[in-house]
Structure 1
Amino acid sequence: MNINRKPFICIAFAMLTGIILARILIEIKFYFALKMLIFIQLISILYYFIYEYDFSKRKLIIVLSLVFLLFGSSLYSYQEYKYHSSYSIVNFLDDDYVNIKGRIIIDPADLEGNNLYIKADYINGEKVKYGKIITAKQNFDYYENNIVISADIKVSLPEEQKNPGGFCYRSHLKQNGIYLQSWSIKNINYHHRKFSYKNYLIKSKYNILSTIDSLVSNENAGFIKAILLGERSAISYHKEKQLQEAGASHLLAISGLHIAIIIMVFSYFAFNIFEERKTALCVITLFNIIYIILVGVRASILRASIFALLYLWAEIFNRKADFLNIIAFSLLINLLINPYLLFTVGLQLSYSLVLTLYYLTPLISEFLNKIFAVSIAAQLAAIPLTAYYFGQYAYIALITNLWAIPIISFLLPLILFILVLSTVLPPLIYFFGPPLEMILNIFFKTLELMTQIQGRMLTISRPNLALVFLYYIIMFTLPYVFKTRIIELNNKKFNWARKIFPVTFLIIFLLIFSTFNSGLLELHFISVGQGDGIYIQFPDGQNMLVDTGPPGPQGRNIEYSILPFLNYKGVSSIDYLVISHFHADHTGGIPTLLENKNVRNIFIAQPAERDQFKNYIINYTNNNKNSNLFYLSENNSFNVSGCRINFLNPPKNTVFEDENKNSLVFLLEYGKHSFIFTGDLYSCGEKRIVREHQLGKIDVLKVGHHGSDTSSSKFFLDSIAPDYAVIPVGRNNFNHPAEKVIKNLEKRKIKYFRTDKDGAVAVKTDGINLKVNSFLD
């Protein structure tokens, strides 16, 4: 590669290398090495200017690469410094209210959402500089962008990632300069409003959103707002899930397709209004910048906009636009704006997709029609990162995108045309609305058909990061191996590459879809909030899930806790589902679990009353011939992969009015180790099972009733003498776990874990050795 022709490739690579080095050194807390790295880089640059000063283009690119290597590591370090600085708002964490003075910030890209932001200037009278606070609109009677307020607020750190495969909300917000959250605000005083050009853009966008609302139904309006104006909060959960399951969720992320169409429409008007091309391009650029602000400065949007605009401007400066050089330049701009973007799935998917389309489409086109080639290349780009971050892949995407992308390519300019026309002749909106509504309804009906053809999405266990990296290296090398050259590589010296590389790529591709069993008994106490969710994997690979956690907002808690964990492990079906008892904090995820995973056997105790979640289970087993429902009580037992499972409660032919007493308690034994799962059983029930079943020493106790003092009595703890105890608990109003229980555990030197503070707890054993650790260790 001639670096004189593609300078930004070297510079961008140096920048991202600097960022990665800084991240690694900061994460391992090797701050001295980081300082030395920055110092050496600085000395190298100074040495060049003092002793090797040369204006040749090649050497200038080299020194610029050194500069951006330094700049990358320094910029990332500076972002971390701001978070930990004495001027950071993180220093004002308090259980009580703090007094704050600052500005309300409205994100122009999320006007339909529920979030507002506060940029604090003073907290408790002390000057602060770094970080914003996320809050909710309902906390304010009135809000406007850039209005200065003072108030008393309770602040807390956003939720961190607590489970393997989970989402780290804290890191996500931190990447956007948001350090704290507040959902409790009082004594709000409004002051003056500071001038901001964004206020005019926000007002204009509100008008556009209002026009879209009058154009089609609410659900379809939400979709239009998302694909045209980046308002992801506007789209309904049902439609977003439908797009995801059909492999078309990328349509909601404004990127190359959207930007190309938007700029095409801008260009049509600009080139017809202005005679001089340079003037037209200036107007197009200005409108594109405004559009970027309205939809949000995201990696894919910047990449696509920079690419399109530089291609248009290249002709004015009599320069030939180089694809890779422009892509590298857009990456450099993205990283300069926010170095954290390098570690986000959005940037990684965006650039891997565009590079794969560039490199691989011509090669695949030699064997297939170009439309199919583009779709296949796009899927090959997305599979590894989708598997790594989400653990699921909608394989129907290959077909969905063949028709969905052309429809969206038709709809976007049509919608823009309608919106522009409606500003001149508002009544015309009633003429265009019905046909547009019909097209969108057909679009989503066809998406529904795609999901029915596919069934459930393919579940893929998280591949090793090194394997993902190797996948992309091999994939991007393939076009060079098969490239037609003036001097062909068909001689024996190079012919091996054309055989080895495709085979290697195929092996890696298959490895990404492979799930490997550890051969151990694994118990994972998942952090689900105030509830239970325990995943057990037996030595032969069979699995069991004990309870499904609480319902959470809109019944979706399981989507942020248990399901991501199951996807991370590559679990597409559950062999045994045990419901300890029918209280919502144990059964809240049942409907979503049964929608997303195949469940072969379900074990329950007879509940005291008819329960809606029990009805879900009965309907599921009635409609699925491969699923069985069993009512269990004490002395029911079975063996799985060398493990013995013996149920100890409830008593046979007994149904208590208090559902906690009906808890399905069982003992799991493997080799010389044993584990007991107690549901929410009370102390009286614990005493009964100890005496009637002659319970002896247990290695790991699942502490009953989330650490309530109604369970885990002194008698029970003394009788089973566990080495470890796990308390599944989350934020609650019941003071769980009770101080009395914690003291009882500590007095007996039982090492205990809390899922709210330690995250998921993993127990692994081969029947002889036992290892226990927590996710947040």
Structure 2
Amino acid sequence: MLIASSLLYSFLLKKMILLLIAMYLILHICYKKQVTLLLLSLFVAFLFFLRVGIKPATLPPTEQELTIIVRIYPDTIQVKESFVTMEGKAAQGEVFLQYPLKNAQESNHWQSRKDQNVTIRATGVFKQADPARNLHGFDRQWYEWTENKVGTFRIATILQTKPNSRWHFGRAMRARAIDWVETEYSPKIATYIKALLLGYRDNQFREIREVYNSSGILHLFSISGMHMSLFLGWCLTLFRYSRLTFEEFSIPFLVVTLLLVFLFGQGISILRATLMYLVNILCKERQWHFSALDRFSFVICLLLLIEPKSFVQTSGVLSILLSFIILMSSDNRKNPFISSMEISLLASPILMFYFYEIPLLAGILTALITPLFSFMLLPGLLFSSLWHVLGLPSSLIDSWMTSFLKLLETIIQFSHSFLVTTGKPALWFGIVIFLVGLACATATLKHRILFFVSMMIFILLPSFPLKTAVSFVDVGQGDSIVFQSFGNQKVYVVDTGGKVNFYANDSDKVTKNAEYTLIPFLKGEGIRQIDGLFLTHGDFDHMGDIEEILREFSVETLYVAEGMLHHQNMVNLDSELFKQTAVVELRQGDRVGVHPTFEVLSPFEKGTGENKDSLVLATVIKEVRFLLMGDLEEEGERRLINEYPNLHTDILKLGHHGSRTSSSEGFLQHVQPKHGIISCGVNNQFKHPHVEVLEHLERQEIKVLRTDEQGMIRYEWSLFSSHPQIITAIQSTE
């Protein structure tokens, strides 16, 4: 299996190292003269290549109006504020779909998924998929490729609709089940049933995810496939009570299994759990004596034939590796509590690589809560569903289930204090630690202590990067700059960004985006505490995500311009979040911070937190001067020129995202920057940066770096370097 999968992924990922690994394994088998094993490995590899095809897929043109015919997958429909998302199958291949909703009536229409088992003809454009725009950020291109999608099609107009054939019953059945659950249950119970039983995770699931993230048992919802094994076990027990022989009930049992796979979402974890269960039953009934590892390998081969990209999908990696850890750690003589602790420790490198955190209580909570899920919650949800189907009075049962779920969430929430941000480790280091851990799982106490020490080093290293850095984070149409001293001894953040959307419904105007931009970057860098958080002024695109930052990180001091606390956006903040944070007002002449120290150049007097009152900060890192202008406009620039006749800088963060109201040619001539940083959103509605500003920069021969074109812009110094390396997320230059 290793040879076949290495050959497969050397082709898919274009990685020579995987091909070399496959060649080494082939030579090793040849040396051992294991001809049968070699032929079997090559045959499986041949099947893999037949499955994926040698010819690369042709992607459709982007940002060009097209008319396509697409069969909608009704069980993937999600209505989100002013648009609906779904998946479907077109002639070009499988696609993600987005459709803007025009009114509430149309929103209600799409909420009924059972009525959307249709094929549509629509006009629209395929969106250009971005790579990761920030370090440790979401990579849309990679995501679409791993999910076997040829792109995201933004529908402009639906021209024609016709029902799908009856052969497409699987997804229609699941769509009906989702609609029924949402109709019959309260939102909380419905969210659990959809997530645990149907594998459907929508906006409401985010609330549950936030509760369970810190516990380390989120895999119970998304990657374990545990419920599939339980349901198949119950079905098998019923068939055995029918007194039919295995040969007689095997076909009906397979039909039921297939229906359950469709009903539960056809995800990788469901497929893996189903195949594993069927292989184990078949071996038991036929008395085939294969080892657990042989059966697991056979299941992985089948899984790769069904979904060749299982090992590059996050859910696939987590599901397969965690089940492998459980398999290798299984020992009937072990205490279940000790076994859970070992499994959680072995899983730590995987969780660190994907989520940049490890939950310290994962082992304890897994040991305590897994039985509750297996023997109380899942059966309880199933019993409640049957009760509703039979039309019996269910208010008492629903009330009990709601109380139980709230109690469970309350118990789990305290684990948030034991969630440790570790940063993202190097892939090769994570693989080494993972393999060492597996080798030590059944070893002597001495080797286990060695593994534990290695794991602690592995956990601590990403939190102390051997570099100094200044990062202009791509937060879309907004600002956020992160200063990291050597080893993250001091971390300062200037502005948080904050996405503003304009919808017809006022309640939908503001959505948070820090969880996709700033927060993953900070956690990926191993940052647990922010020593100083500066808010330059009260505009939402500069401070809109402060509440998200305060919830996720310990912030020692919040710095604002004098008078800004009275700005309406500041008044609206949750005061409870500031209890552990000192709030300091700044004005011209103040100096704050250590490594680096920030000098406040503006405001000159108490203001109200508007653009003209922006904090203007100057600092020096390894003899490189930085000047951050907030949204200060031309009038403020003229005053800076008068107050600071010798003000010069190397790196200028332009005011107001490159608007013509800032960055006058006279100011640029005065400060003489070498680089001009413009932080703005792609195709933003304000048309930033304005042409006049770009012309000013060109005439002054100032190198322009823009987050809308290059993503994150990062200045990085290694331990002994005095000149920074300039790194951009989308393209790199020295």
TM-score computed with the length of structure 1 as normaliser: 0.83
1:408 maps to a residue whose letter is F
Residues 59-68 or 413-422, more deviating = 413-422
2:41 maps to a residue whose letter is S
C-alpha spacing 1:597/1:479, structure 2 compared with 1 (3 Å): closer
1:132 aligns with 2:83: no
Preserved contact between residue 672 and residue 767 of structure 1 (Cα < 8 Å): no
Residue 757 of structure 1 corresponds to 709
Q: How far did 1:283 drift?
A: 1.9
Residue 774 of structure 1 corresponds to 728
Residue 174 of structure 1 corresponds to 145
Preserved contact between residue 76 and residue 87 of structure 2 (Cα < 8 Å): no
C-alpha spacing 1:352/1:445, structure 2 compared with 1 (3 Å): same
Preserved contact between residue 603 and residue 632 of structure 1 (Cα < 8 Å): yes
Q: How does 1:355-434 map to 2 (within 5 A)?
A: 355-362=324-331, 366=334, 370-410=335-375, 411-420=377-386, 422-423=388-389, 425-426=390-391, 428=392, 430-431=393-394, 433-434=395-396
The alignment partner of 2:722 has SS state of: coil
Q: How does 1:20-31 map to 2 (within 5 A)?
A: 20-25=9-14
Residue 86 of structure 2 corresponds to 116
Preserved contact between residue 644 and residue 670 of structure 1 (Cα < 8 Å): no
In 2, the alpha carbon distance for the partners of 1:176 and 1:207 equals: 24
Aligned mate of 2:413, from 436, 444, 451: 451
Q: How does 1:297-316 map to 2 (within 5 A)?
A: 297-316=266-285
Residue 641 of structure 2 corresponds to 690
In 2, the alpha carbon distance for the partners of 1:715 and 1:240 equals: 51
Residue 505 of structure 2 corresponds to none
Q: Residue deviations 1:459-479, cap 9 Å, x none?
A: 111112121111121112124
Aligned mate of 1:744, from 688, 696, 715: 696
Preserved contact between residue 424 and residue 524 of structure 2 (Cα < 8 Å): yes
C-alpha spacing 1:18/1:283, structure 2 compared with 1 (3 Å): same
1:674 aligns with 2:625: yes
Q: How does 1:337-348 map to 2 (within 5 A)?
A: 337-348=306-317
1:550 aligns with 2:498: yes
In 2, the alpha carbon distance for the partners of 1:319 and 1:740 equals: 77
In 2, the alpha carbon distance for the partners of 1:282 and 1:205 equals: 22
Residues 105-114 or 267-276, more deviating = 105-114
Q: How far did 1:590 drift?
A: 0.8
Preserved contact between residue 117 and residue 132 of structure 1 (Cα < 8 Å): yes
1:105 maps to a residue whose letter is I
Aligned mate of 1:650, from 585, 603, 617: 603
Q: How far did 1:581 drift?
A: 0.4
Q: How does 1:74-113 map to 2 (within 5 A)?
A: 78=54, 81-82=56-57, 85=58, 88-89=59-60, 92-94=61-63, 98-106=65-73, 108=75
1:60 aligns with 2:36: yes
C-alpha spacing 1:242/1:618, structure 2 compared with 1 (3 Å): closer
In 1, the alpha carbon distance for the partners of 2:471 and 2:582 equals: 24
Residues 752-761 or 344-353, more deviating = 344-353
Q: How far did 1:307 drift?
A: 0.8
1:384 maps to a residue whose letter is P
| Number of residue-to-residue matches in the alignment | 704
Q: Residue deviations 1:690-743, cap 9 Å, x none?
A: 231124431111111111111111112112221112111113211011122222
Preserved contact between residue 463 and residue 525 of structure 2 (Cα < 8 Å): no
C-alpha spacing 1:509/1:109, structure 2 compared with 1 (3 Å): farther
Aligned mate of 1:704, from 655, 666, 676: 655
Q: Residue deviations 1:27-81, cap 9 Å, x none?
A: x9x9xx99x999x99xx99xx9xxx9xxx995233123124445656766747x1
1:615 aligns with 2:581: no
In 2, the alpha carbon distance for the partners of 1:716 and 1:155 equals: 42
In 1, the alpha carbon distance for the partners of 2:147 and 2:14 equals: 21
In 1, the alpha carbon distance for the partners of 2:136 and 2:210 equals: 19
1:158 aligns with 2:129: yes
Q: How far did 1:447 drift?
A: 2.7
Preserved contact between residue 118 and residue 135 of structure 1 (Cα < 8 Å): no
Q: Residue deviations 1:533-558, cap 9 Å, x none?
A: 11101246201000010145763201
Q: Residue deviations 1:497-525, cap 9 Å, x none?
A: x7456414522343223445456541101
Preserved contact between residue 641 and residue 667 of structure 2 (Cα < 8 Å): yes
Preserved contact between residue 223 and residue 234 of structure 1 (Cα < 8 Å): no
The alignment partner of 2:191 has SS state of: helix
2:379 maps to a residue whose letter is P
Q: How does 1:561-576 map to 2 (within 5 A)?
A: 561-576=517-532
% identical aligned pairs = 22
C-alpha spacing 1:536/1:620, structure 2 compared with 1 (3 Å): farther
In 2, the alpha carbon distance for the partners of 1:419 and 1:57 equals: 57
1:135 maps to a residue whose letter is Q
The alignment partner of 2:202 has SS state of: helix
C-alpha spacing 1:286/1:660, structure 2 compared with 1 (3 Å): same
Residue 490 of structure 1 corresponds to none
In 2, the alpha carbon distance for the partners of 1:295 and 1:14 equals: 32
Aligned mate of 1:638, from 592, 595, 614: 592
2:342 maps to a residue whose letter is A
Residue 7 of structure 1 corresponds to none
The alignment partner of 2:256 has SS state of: helix
The alignment partner of 2:136 has SS state of: coil
Task: Give the CA RMSD over aligned residues.
Answer: 3.3
In 2, the alpha carbon distance for the partners of 1:357 and 1:543 equals: 39
Aligned mate of 1:205, from 153, 168, 174: 174
Residues 170-179 or 615-624, more deviating = 615-624
C-alpha spacing 1:714/1:75, structure 2 compared with 1 (3 Å): farther
C-alpha spacing 1:371/1:499, structure 2 compared with 1 (3 Å): closer
In 2, the alpha carbon distance for the partners of 1:718 and 1:461 equals: 41
1:581 aligns with 2:569: no
TM-score computed with the length of structure 2 as normaliser: 0.88
Q: How far did 1:321 drift?
A: 4.3
Preserved contact between residue 88 and residue 95 of structure 2 (Cα < 8 Å): yes
Residue 503 of structure 1 corresponds to 450
Aligned mate of 1:265, from 212, 220, 234: 234
2:8 maps to a residue whose letter is I
Aligned mate of 1:592, from 541, 548, 551: 548
C-alpha spacing 1:638/1:133, structure 2 compared with 1 (3 Å): closer
The alignment partner of 2:311 has SS state of: helix
In 1, the alpha carbon distance for the partners of 2:154 and 2:21 equals: 41
Residue 289 of structure 1 corresponds to 258
Residue 507 of structure 2 corresponds to none
Q: How far did 1:375 drift?
A: 1.7
Preserved contact between residue 18 and residue 72 of structure 1 (Cα < 8 Å): no
In 1, the alpha carbon distance for the partners of 2:21 and 2:339 equals: 42
The alignment partner of 2:310 has SS state of: helix
Preserved contact between residue 104 and residue 147 of structure 1 (Cα < 8 Å): yes
